[in-house]
């Protein structure tokens, strides 16, 4: 049940997240230009109802349709939700945000089923006609269903929820919602809760009263701030303590609440702190009649206060401070007593990263096919260029599996060049479709990062199964192939060990935090100064990051150019830029940024050494903070 609820919540969240910018625009227009806004303007304020009534539901429904039915599902969702909007009277009725989350995926499912049924039965020459008319006709039918059924039904649901909230307010029980809100946030259901439930209820209340407390329940940055401050002062783990101040800034001023979720996941008892903190702040907001004019997206203190009515500004600030103080006081002793006895921050970040990837809809929806260990002889780790991420992933997994399955060959390549004899292909989720086309015969394993992903643990467990079939299946030919591969790898290592691809001038330590793009460009410029690449390679590194992240997990990123940029490489080189406080790669933080430029396989030996360093947690943590260049070079020799 827990997994089902979590999966459902993540799906709802995945419809909202790509459209957060539209919610921000609507919120700003509301806060600035309505009659009691900061700079009232009747003309500009007239934009707001159209955005709430039409733009936001259409965007959500289209996104939901695309998640299920692809591009055709996107169009179906947009068409269908218009029926819901019209069914409740357009701008005169309730906002159809909740209805959009229902009818969008439903419309996408309908067109997907139609396309599946037409597979192999499409009349030649009629493809465009059938495709266009199917979307038009089916979209019209779903819109009619939305008009008569889904729209009115969801209005009834919203009415019941609003009445329930009124009862909670009347009896002083609204603060108890924090018991459900804070754990749900850590499970990455915050956007589904805020935009899917609180925003529709809040918009109805704000239309009548000019503000709504519903906008404050999830977006308050105080509870999370208290947790992060407690880690700043009382964390015993050096890495955690150093990363917390940067997380405070990102959370409080940037509004990215997800940054504090790993700090709770690594020590679940800490969740008590934000729950009690939010209970106290909601109680205070209720007593003082506080509310926001529009949703605070993102949940930064800047956005939170910008949506606050002028006459409630002081009370709102006090409420945030109450949440922060209570959360801090409760979290501090928990952290002091349990820090170091629970999971590591890097593990929690990896867990949260996977959850977020799923919430964004980046996971490949497929049933995991059990792997027969006897059938696996070659595993390929593939990334876009086959230069860095996959090389490190392959090295780490090869070292992990070699003692129990020496017959398995583990190599890396670019995603478009996976060999035909590959049995298992390991790729990041964003590259899954390309991997399917490149190696349709291979079993596909999709991961969030190449170093510490649960899917790799599952694969390891399957391959290490002690079955008689797995023990005896190796033939002389396969053994010879494995030996030949080992000899080639050893020869490559002997050859590359003679090539010095990193030196003191290629290492920069104790750098102050910058944006992800600036960190990538800094590594690229260092490669240029080392004479490894042309200037154009730096732009290719940024382009490569836009394809799929080069964050590897465990505080490590290895930005490099695209496969098309190999002509810009003059010689093999690797540089290291250290950021002790971390650089945000999405919701993860990288303290070690290795810039890579490789000719052939000349850089693989050093990547192997980096992987060996990662196996020793003490070495890894010291590498993130040390100011001794010679010590780092020694670890990579």
- Residues annotated as catalytic (active site), given as ranges: 383, 560
Cα distance between residue 609 and residue 603, in whole Å: 10
What is d(CA 95, CA 301) in angstroms, rounded to the nearest whole number? 26
Query: What's the order of all strands across the beta sheet hosting 443-447?
Result: 409-414, 378-383, 424-428, 443-447
Q: Is 374 helix (H, G, I), strand (E, B) or coil?
A: helix
CA dist list (Å): 475 to 373, 376, 377? 15, 13, 11
User: Are the beta carbons of 35 and 73 closer than 8 angstroms?
Assistant: no
The DSSP element (H or E) to which 553 belongs, if any, is strand 551-553
Q: What are phi and psi of 508, to 5 degrees?
A: -120, 120
Peptide bond into 240 cis (omega under 30): no
- Residue 117: Cβ within 10 Å count: 9
- Angstrom distance (rounded) from CA 333 to CA 358: 33
Sequence-separated (6 or more) residues with CB below 8 Å from residue 401: 408, 410, 460, 463, 464
- Written as six digits, the tokens of 519 are 């960190």
CB 418 within 8 A of CB 382: yes
Angstrom distance (rounded) from CA 260 to CA 157: 33
Report the 10 Å Cβ neighbour count for 2: 7
**C-beta separation of 531 from 570 below 8 A:** yes
How far apart (Å, rounded) are the C-alpha atoms in residues 599 and 572?
5
Bridge partner residues of 381 (DSSP):
412, 426
Beta bridge partners of 551: 557
Q: Is 3 exposed, middle or buried (0-12, 13-18, 19+ CB in 10 A)?
A: exposed
Query: Element (H or E) spanning 575, and its range?
Result: strand 573-585
């Amino acid at each position: 049940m827990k997994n089902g609820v979590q999966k459902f919540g993540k799906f709802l969240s995945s419809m909202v997240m790509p459209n957060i910018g539209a919610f921000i625009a609507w919120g700003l227009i509301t806060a600035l230009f309505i009659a009691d806004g900061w700079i009232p303007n009747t003309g500009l304020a007239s934009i707001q109802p159209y955005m709430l009534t039409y733009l936001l539901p259409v965007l959500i429904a289209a996104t939901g349709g695309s998640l299920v039915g692809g591009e055709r599902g996107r169009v179906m969702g947009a068409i269908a939700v218009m029926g819901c909007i019209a069914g409740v009277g357009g701008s005169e009725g309730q906002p159809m945000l909740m209805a959009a989350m229902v009818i969008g995926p439903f419309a996408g499912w309908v067109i997907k089923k139609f396309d599946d049924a037409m597979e192999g039965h499409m009349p030649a020459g009629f493809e465009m006609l059938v495709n266009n008319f199917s979307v038009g006709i089916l979209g019209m039918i779903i819109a009619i269903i939305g008009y008569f059924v889904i729209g009115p039904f969801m209005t009834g649901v919203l009415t019941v929820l609003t009445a329930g909230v009124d009862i909670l307010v009347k009896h002083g029980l609204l603060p108890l919602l924090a018991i459900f809100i804070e754990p749900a946030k850590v499970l990455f259901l915050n956007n589904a809760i805020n935009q899917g439930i609180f925003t529709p209820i809040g918009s109805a209340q704000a239309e009548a009263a000019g503000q709504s407390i519903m906008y404050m329940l999830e977006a308050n940055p105080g509870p999370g701030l208290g947790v992060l401050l407690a880690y700043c002062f009382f964390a015993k783990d050096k890495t955690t303590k150093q990363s917390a101040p940067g997380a405070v800034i990102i959370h409080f001023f940037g509004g990215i609440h997800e940054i504090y979720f790993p700090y709770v996941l690594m020590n679940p008892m800490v969740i008590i702190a934000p729950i009690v903190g939010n209970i106290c702040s909601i109680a205070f907001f209720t007593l003082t009649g506080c509310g926001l004019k529009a949703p605070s997206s993102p949940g930064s203190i800047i956005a939170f206060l910008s949506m606050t009515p002028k006459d409630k500004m002081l009370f709102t600030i006090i409420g945030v401070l109450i949440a922060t103080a209570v959360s801090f006081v409760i979290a501090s002793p928990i952290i002091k007593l349990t820090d170091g006895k629970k999971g590591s921050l890097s593990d929690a970040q990896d867990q949260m990263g996977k959850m977020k990837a799923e919430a964004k809809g980046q996971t490949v929806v497929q049933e995991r096919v059990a792997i027969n260990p006897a059938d696996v002889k070659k595993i390929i780790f593939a990334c876009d260029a086959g230069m860095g991420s996959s090389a490190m992933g392959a090295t780490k997994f090869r070292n992990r599996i070699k003692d129990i399955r020496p017959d398995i060959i583990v190599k890396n390549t670019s995603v478009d060049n996976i060999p035909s004899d590959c049995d298992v292909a390991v790729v990041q989720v964003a590259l899954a479709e390309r991997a399917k086309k490149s190696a349709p015969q291979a079993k596909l394993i999709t991961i969030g990062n190449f170093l510490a992903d649960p899917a790799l643990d599952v694969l390891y467990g399957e391959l290490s199964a002690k079955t008689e079939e797995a023990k005896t299946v190796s033939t002389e030919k396969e053994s010879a192939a494995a030996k030949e591969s080992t000899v080639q790898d050893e020869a490559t290592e002997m050859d590359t060990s003679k090539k010095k691809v990193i030196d003191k001038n290629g290492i920069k330590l104790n750098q102050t935090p910058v944006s992800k793009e600036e960190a990538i460009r800094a590594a690229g410029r260092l490669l240029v100064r080392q004479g490894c690449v042309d200037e154009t390679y730096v732009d290719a590194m940024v382009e490569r990051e836009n394809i799929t992240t080069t964050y590897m997990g465990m505080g490590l990123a290895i930005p490099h150019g695209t496969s098309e940029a190999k002509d810009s490489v003059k010689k093999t080189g690797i540089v290291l830029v250290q950021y002790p406080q971390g650089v945000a790669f999405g919701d993860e933080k990288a303290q070690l940024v290795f810039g890579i430029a490789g000719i052939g396989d000349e850089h693989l030996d050093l990547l192997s050494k980096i992987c060996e360093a990662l196996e020793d947690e003490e070495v890894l943590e010291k590498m993130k903070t040390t100011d001794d260049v010679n010590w780092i070079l020694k670890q990579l020799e």
